[in-house]
Amino acid sequence: MAIPNMQIPSRQLFIDGEWREPVKKNRLPVINPATEEIIGYIPAATAEDVDIAVKAARRAHGRNGWGSTTGAQRAKFLRAIAAKVLEKRPELATLETIDNGKPWFEAASDIDDVVACFEYYADLAEALDSKNKTEVKLHLDSFKTHVYKEPLGVVGLITPWNYPLLMTTWKVAPALAAGCAAVLKPSELASITSLELGEICREVGLPPGALNILTGLGHEAGSPLVSHPDVDKIAFTGSGPTGIKIMTAAAQLVKPVTLELGGKSPIVVFDDIPNIDIAVEWTLFGCFWTNGQICSATSRLIIQDTIASQFLDRLLEWTKNIKISDPLEEDCKLGPVISRGQYEKVLKLISTAKNEGATILYGGERPQHLKKGYYIQPTIITDVDTSMEIWKEEVFGPVLCVKTFKTEEEAIELANDTKYGLGAAILSKDLDRCERFTKAFQSGIVWINCSQPCFWQPPWGGKKRSGFGRELGEWSLENYLNIKQVTQYVSDEPWAFYKSPSKL
């Protein structure tokens, strides 16, 4: 498919089903990470805009509004959104690429997942109609109880820049499926496709206020959204430090939060792998996919010492073969990181690792053939000690650090030697061993003989400092539902707790 040549659409804030200029009329530049050029502008919301959007969402969710629709009614809108996204797939993928820097074929694959995700939650929305009055068996015949599932209310959704439209969909689709009205605040570093979702919602006739989209800076738009008293829940994906601030602010109102934060995930490779090239490719994919900017990246390679030399030689050959180019070029497999700030952060972490005594086996700098853009070679770092920053801290770039092990016990200890707990992978033909590691990994996700495959049906989330709560699957829908107990006294007999007054 030919990649379309795109201009950035000029949008405002999407509030109450309309495009509205920010109250303070501020705008932020959009910088293409492949060229470092300003390619457009997005509106910058402030607390005043947040208040307007939350009020619109509250009206939409009110009596006889979006919150009182049936699941079947909501499903029609979700499927209409999916169809419109599919229709605009080439354009959306291109906007994603020039905004975010990921290779175009990856962006296009993300758009396919967006379509599937909206369709999946349309099915779950329909199924809610038969589940929202589930009987609970009691030990007393004089009572009947059922559980009623209702939308939680107005929800604030804050999404990251590494999967702009897909991460938006992970939150918007289940929130709308549940009947919540939402205010979305995407990352200011990659907001274009989230704004286009607003246009799609307008085109399909989504009721005004059901979804509102505010672009802008975190401290100007995100913080007021979190602390707004009329927002019933916050769902956030992003960095640990920001997650801590959100928890602190939400706690003041005893507001529930779902947090999907950072990671420093291990990939453990044993010497019984049947095919070294298959294992090498999964190792590369687990760390360098999405330009290394993925919270679940298996960026700590823990490899059995008996095959370490052979494995690293082959890993080096594969890494040198990765095409690094403008992400709109055909067969590009590694594009630029998102911004100058991220570029400088990644290079500093690599430099610190070298200064601490680690060896830069490959990469660690700008590719020589690319003079502009925030490009960093895929980087492999060996001679790593567990006290080093590169072992402990999330890089969020194409950087893989390596340690060896001798025994299973040592491998488990190294794998769990992190404050994070999002993902973990094991590569071995011994399935009993894989089961032992599945139980031993301190993580929310385990991959066996692969790394990073992600589907919309199973749950996604972590433990420790990777956050709590689950997205995707039926678990995500539950995030946006209030579970209400309804108990009815059905006996004709008096309750007889108090002594009846004498009859006159």
CB 30 within 8 A of CB 99: yes
Taking the C-alpha atoms of residue 316 and residue 312, their distance in angstroms, rounded to an integer, is 6
Per-residue confidence band for 3, with pLDDT thresholds at 50, 70 and 90: low
pLDDT exceeds cutoff 60 at 1: no
Residue 455 lies in a domain: no
Q: CA 420, CA 417: separation in Å to the nearest integer?
A: 9
State the Cα torsion 315-320-322-327 to the nearest 10°.
140
Same domain assignment for residues 293 and 308: yes
In a domain, 494, yes or no: no
Q: Residue 46 to residues 107, 213, 221, 332: CA-CA distances in angstroms?
A: 29, 12, 5, 38
Q: What percent of the chain lies above the pLDDT cut of 90?
A: 95
* Whole-angstrom distance, CA of residue 260 vs CA of residue 298: 16
Q: Does some domain include residue 456?
A: no
**In a domain? residue 444:** yes
Q: Do 236 and 342 belong to one domain?
A: no
Q: Which of 106, 126, 196, 260 is an active site residue?
A: 260
Q: How many domains, in total, are found in the chain?
A: 2
Mean pLDDT over 150-157 rounds to: 97
Query: β-pairing, 423-427 with 445-448?
Result: parallel
Catalytic (active site) residue 260:
yes
Q: Are residues 481 and 390 in the same domain?
A: no
Q: What does the pLDDT read at residue 132?
A: 82
Q: Is residue 219 domain-shared with residue 356, that is, in the same domain?
A: no
Give the range of the structural domain holding residue 118, as residue numbers without chain letter.
13-261+466-487
Q: Please say if the pLDDT value at position 348 is more than 80.
A: yes
Based on DSSP, count helices (H) and strands (E) in the chain, helices before strands: 15, 20
Q: Do 182 and 226 lie in a common domain?
A: yes
Strand partners, 234: 156, 257
What's the confidence (pLDDT) of residue 282?
A: 98
Residue 453 falls within a domain, yes or no?
no
Give the CA dihedral 224, 225, 229, 230, nearest 10 degrees.
140
| Mean pLDDT, residues 455-466 | 96
Partners of residue 236 on adjacent β-strands: 158, 259
Report pLDDT for 6: 72
- For residue 465, give both structure tokens: 């400092």
Chain position carrying tokens 């070294």 = 276
DSSP per-residue string spanning 364-395: -S--TT--SSS----EEEES--TTSHHHHS--
In the structure, what pLDDT confidence band is assigned to residue 428 with cuts at 50, 70 and 90? very high
- Regarding beta strands 257-260 and 233-237, do their DSSP bridges make them parallel or antiparallel, or are they unpaired? parallel
pLDDT of residue 62: 87
116 and 247 fall within a common domain = yes
**Is a pLDDT exceeding 80 seen at residue 377?**
yes
Residues 227, 127 share a domain: yes
Residue 1 domain flag: no
Rounded Cα distance between 173 and 177, Å, is 6
> What is the tens place of the pLDDT at every residue in 91-115?
999 999 999 999 999 999 999 999 9
Mean confidence (pLDDT) of the chain:
96
Which three-class secondary structure state does DSSP give residue 465? helix
**DSSP symbol at 292:** G
- Domain shared by 211 and 302, yes or no: no
Pairing state between β 257-260 and 467-468: antiparallel
Q: Is the domain of 212 the same as that of 139?
A: yes
Q: Does residue 132 share a domain with residue 70?
A: yes
pLDDT of 5 reads: 65
Average pLDDT over every residue of 456-464: 96
Query: Does one domain contain both 399 and 476?
Result: no
pLDDT exceeds 80 at position 367: yes
What's the pLDDT at 243?
Answer: 96
Whether 8 maps to a domain, the answer reads: no
The pTM of this model reads 0.95
- Report the run of H or E that residue 317 belongs to, with start and end: helix 308-320
In a domain, 432, yes or no: yes
Residues 178, 149 share a domain: yes
**Domain CATH number, residue 175:** 3.40.605.10
The domain that holds 301 is classified in CATH as 3.40.309.10
318 pLDDT more than 90: yes
Give residue 214's pLDDT: 98
